[in-house]
Structure 1
Amino acid sequence: MGTQVLARPSVESAGEHRDESGWHPAVRVLFRFTFVTVGIGMAGAWLLHALLRTLGLPQQAVAEIGKWLALHPLTDWVGIRLFDVRVDYTVTGSGDTAAKWISVVTLILVAIPVTAVWSVLDRRRTAYDRLYAWFRLLVRFTLVSALMLYGMIKLMPTQMSFNLERLVEPFGHMSPMAVLWAQSSLSEPYEMALGAAEVTAAVLLILPLTAGLGSVLAVIVALQVVLMNLTFDVPVKLFALQLLLYATLLAAPELARLVRALLGRAVEPSRRAALLGSPRGHRLMLGAQVLLGSWLLVATAVEAYDGWHTYGNARPKSPLYGIWNVTEYTVDGQPVPALVDFDAPGTGLPNPTERFRRIIFDIPQGMTAQRLDDSLVSFPARVDTGKQTVTLSKDTSHQLTLASFTYARPQDDQLVLDGKLGGRSVRMRLDQVDLAQFPVVSRGFHWVQATPYYQ
């Protein structure tokens, strides 16, 4: 018999007969546990958090809600009693904090008795077809919101934005994550392609008709993200594994049908229970999915566009943008030689007697200095083009000043900084580095190459 593939899923209404006797008792227990942990505890918590962000709730309020979604204070108790760790919910930009991992352990510990009680109270039920359909819907839109967010900030290059300091930082000084970020940021088309794949998967997941194809693409995308996070030590391993789990749960039936088709076997249309028990309810749910998907698409696009122009590749540049070599450095009129003292204790703060090798102006609100040992130190900075001053501070509000300089530009590629640093007079002469000397940004793309350009 020839292969017959029908991609369109069939949704059964409440009036249609379904044999609900096929669920094995172990499968029913596993579904209850999965519904509690993956459905409510992970996917539901993430989707609620994502929707609150799109509604413009203050970041502090969103963080507080996230803390309670992590089962605080029960997670605190688990952290202290089982791991001897005091849980800190401070938002650090890492998704792999102790609080995140311990909250997952807490969720599993809570889900075990909940599943047991549910199994006893609902022991007469033989299947959960409709609840399974709602579970898939929840997981599907959690995946939509996550892929939209991460896809948009790559499609509008923001997640891996280009930083000047990477051009002079020694490769060996970079962390594996910094290497990944740097190489991705050097090719906007590559980063945008990664984002386009994530956004495409998210868009396909919005509609039930294309959700199967979207889930398969989401598995491929999530596998790539997990691989990168695990091999480059990116601190989003936990959430990346959750995304892969969501995508796999959604794609498993479609992948099974695809394998059967590739083996030359007939593939019947997929059949799933309706979310609501009437044709009108089905149409309402379809409309609600389109509206929610559209809202997430627009909200994440606006957020990504704002981020792209704030801290992404379209962000403003410093008025003194560039990499500047320090050719002369004097303290109280005495020249400071370019000598490296590797035994000198590093404080992270500018020292008037510690001669800088380079000064890097990239973003308007910051400055990075490269020491003679090639290490980098960054400061909040404010460049006033009217007064021609540069102020370095300890804080972004510029309440605690570290140094203040006036600057002059005798020529476009020359800069003189003259002012106070650590209570002493410091003067620096700087020459701008021609960025074209770095092949990583000037080499470009070539269809025809006589020999490999590897240097």
Structure 2
Amino acid sequence: MQETTTTWSLFGRISFRFAFIYYLIYFNPLGLISGIPGMYYLTEAINYPFDIFIHWFNDNFLHIRKELVPMGGSGDTSYGWAQLYSFLFIACIGALIWSILDSKKTAYPKLHYWLCILLRYSLAGIAFTYGILKVFAMQMYFPNMSQLATPLGDYLPMRFSWMFIGYSTPYQMFSGFAEVMVALLLVWRRTALLGALLAIGVFANVAMLNLAYDIPVKIYTLNLLVASMFLAWQERSRLFAFFIQNQTVQPSELYEKYFSKKWQRIGRIVLKVVLIVMSFGFGTYNYYQYYLEFHSNNSKILEPIQPGMYHVELFVKNSDTIPESLADSLRWRDVIFDYNGSGSLSAQDSSLRMRYGRAYFSYLPDSLGTQLEWRLSSWDSLPVATFKMQMPEKDQIILTGKKEEDSLYVVLKKLKRHFPLTERQFHWISEANR
């Protein structure tokens, strides 16, 4: 399906029609300019008919779930699978109709050129978005104290993999630089093939992580991998001649398109600059601002609480003293106040955010240090619990107040708990396994 080929094979024509329809739907071209004011709503308006079809197709044929769960934190929801099957079905039917109505056409060099352009810039924008996040080490975070205090066996594979990558900032930045390089190489015509080959390596690694650790972005990353392979496949003759036959190859003509009119040549440059500035320039600036905000020092706001792990020495609930017991899942055993205003406690508490056996909350003391509020999240306006706070001695906190319908009196004692993982040890010489 190369542009220089005057007559394509029957399989080449049919497969191109399928790929053109599928990728035109999956990588909506308006997504490249959705950041322009007003364009986002146009993109959503175009997606609306597809949304109606996806629900109809599922209700009448797929029956994946009676009620499709929309994509959000997970891309592999029932809606995500219904969308994938719907797009494949539309592409198949569209390719069949196209083949019947346009059976005499022997090649599609112009459409082929624009399809490759769409895939190049779509993959470049996606790779840069994920890459720049990793360059600033903000996609995966270093495990916080609550996570460090959670038994390893309580974690699900995805969270385990997230902490594995977040633990090492250099490794995360390295993988981010690889994704940014994919974006930069794909943007320029002369390095587009190298970018496609690097994209195969990068997205194959990401897809394997998603499959091996049950990370719910499998559909998306596999699509990115296949699209990268599609771009590299368009240069298969040159790749085979160079790497297998050890022959000299001519420069690629895949992305060489001559525009006869001056306004077309100027428009091409202007559009490319706009896309680069919007995707790369604004993206880098926004993530850098987020990076500065995330790493801002909030220690003054959280005073007088000293972050750390606190043992619950005394737990009185509705005037009843509840003794410490490993068999009691409702009694607090320890409370962690982390550095960023988040906290957790070791107990089963459905009024808080339960994750991996711990109940999570956000905390904020008042300016006098005599009252402490717990919220489900830092952006919530109303607290789930409000305590009077006393600190009779160093490393001791006494909380008195109500949580839901329960009156609580809790005495906390800070532990000198050290997690060796936080040392981020590195040794050039290792005499034995650690």
Q: Indicate whether the TM-score tops 0.5.
A: yes
Q: Secondary structure at the match of 2:384?
A: strand
Contact 2:71 2:77 (C-alpha < 8 Å) held by counterparts: no
Please give the per-residue CA displacement for 1:295-327, whole angstroms capped at 9, x wherever unaligned.
2002322342344355x5668567243332223
Match of 2:285 among 302, 325, 341: 302
Tell me, yes or no, if structure 1 residue 413 matches structure 2 residue 392.
no
Could you list the structure 1 runs, at least 4 aligned residues long, displaced by more than 6 angstroms after superposition: 56-59
Q: Secondary structure at the match of 2:127?
A: helix
Q: Which amino acid aligns with 2:345?
A: A
Q: 1:253, CA displacement in angstroms?
A: 4.1
Contact 1:130 1:274 (C-alpha < 8 Å) held by counterparts: no
- Percent of aligned positions with the same letter in both sequences? 26
Q: Which amino acid aligns with 1:43?
A: F
Q: 1:395, CA displacement in angstroms?
A: 6.9
The 3 A distance-change label for structure 1 pair 197 and 411 is farther
Aligned residue number for residue 59 of structure 2: 80
Q: 1:274, CA displacement in angstroms?
A: 4.3
Q: Which amino acid aligns with 2:396?
A: Q
What's the TM-score once normalised by structure 1's chain length?
Answer: 0.82
Aligned residue number for residue 326 of structure 2: 340
Partners in 1 of 2:409 and 2:146 — Cα distance? Answer: 22
Contact 2:134 2:140 (C-alpha < 8 Å) held by counterparts: yes
Please give the per-residue CA displacement for 1:364-419, whole angstroms capped at 9, x wherever unaligned.
56432112898201235443243532223467665664321122344563333222
Aligned residue number for residue 90 of structure 2: 110
Match of 1:122 among 85, 88, 102: 102
Task: Structure 2 unaligned segments of length 5 or more: list them.
Answer: 350-355
Aligned residue number for residue 41 of structure 1: 25
Aligned residue number for residue 193 of structure 1: 174
CA RMSD of aligned residues (A): 3.2
Partners in 2 of 1:361 and 1:67 — Cα distance? Answer: 44
By relative contact order (CA 8 Å, sep 6+), the higher-ranking structure is: 1
Matched residue pairs, number? 419
Aligned residue number for residue 325 of structure 1: 311
Contact 2:344 2:358 (C-alpha < 8 Å) held by counterparts: yes
The 3 A distance-change label for structure 1 pair 385 and 83 is farther
The 3 A distance-change label for structure 1 pair 152 and 273 is closer
Match of 2:73 among 93, 96, 105: 93
Tell me, yes or no, if structure 1 residue 267 matches structure 2 residue 253.
no
Q: 1:155, CA displacement in angstroms?
A: 1.0
Tell me, yes or no, if structure 1 residue 164 matches structure 2 residue 150.
no
Partners in 1 of 2:259 and 2:324 — Cα distance? Answer: 79
Tell me, yes or no, if structure 1 residue 139 matches structure 2 residue 119.
yes
Q: 1:450, CA displacement in angstroms?
A: 2.9
Contact 2:71 2:80 (C-alpha < 8 Å) held by counterparts: no
Q: Which amino acid aligns with 1:357?
A: R
Q: Secondary structure at the match of 2:372?
A: strand
Aligned residue number for residue 352 of structure 2: none
Q: 1:28, CA displacement in angstroms?
A: 0.9
Partners in 2 of 1:407 and 1:298 — Cα distance? Answer: 47
Partners in 1 of 2:376 and 2:296 — Cα distance? Answer: 26
Match of 2:368 among 372, 383, 386: 386
Contact 1:205 1:214 (C-alpha < 8 Å) held by counterparts: yes
Aligned residue number for residue 289 of structure 1: 272
Contact 2:70 2:80 (C-alpha < 8 Å) held by counterparts: no
Contact 2:71 2:79 (C-alpha < 8 Å) held by counterparts: no
Partners in 1 of 2:269 and 2:208 — Cα distance? Answer: 34
Task: Structure 1 unaligned segments of length 5 or more: list them.
Answer: 1-10, 13-17, 345-353
Contact 1:96 1:238 (C-alpha < 8 Å) held by counterparts: yes
Q: Which amino acid aligns with 1:181?
A: W
Match of 2:190 among 209, 215, 224: 209
Q: Secondary structure at the match of 1:371?
A: coil
Match of 1:249 among 227, 230, 233: 230
